[in-house]
Structure 1
């Protein structure tokens, strides 16, 4: 996990929610964030992941019944 993702999860207190997600979701999020070429896109994707973890019931803008 990149340090900037780790730091963002810790700062928002979402590490436990991230860890509770299935491994495929955790991997998808990290690959999706890291595939972005621009730093602004990485930050936008990171923000989306954090918002989805915070609200729960959402995975990649799709309803998820975890």
Structure 2
């Protein structure tokens, strides 16, 4: 099964993650999730769709335990 090409993080998304204080949460995710988020955002055609996808990624990273709208227990914060 061919692997999806590794996405390069655009400077704008890097800035969004840094500004939100979520870069560590992003880096803690498995490589396939990081790659999926970046490809998913890059595939958006309309700026409004891109904004919505970035916001969803940031919200999921902030909350933990969620990946693309699905439960992801390994990323759930422990308290």
- TM-score, with structure 1 as normaliser: 0.98
Say which one has the larger Rg.
Answer: 2
Could you tell me which runs of 5 or more consecutive residues in structure 1 were left unpaired when the two chains were aligned.
Answer: none
Partner deviation per Cα, 1:22-44 (whole Å, 9 max, x = no partner): 00000000000000001111111
Give aligned pairs, total: 66
Match of 1:21 in 2: 29
Which structure features the higher share of helix residues?
Answer: 1
- Tell me the C-alpha RMSD between the 2 structures: 0.5
- TM-score, with structure 2 as normaliser: 0.82
**Larger RCO of the pair (alpha carbons < 8 Å, separation 6+):** 1
Match of 1:4 in 2: 12
Deviation, structure 1 residue 4:
1.1
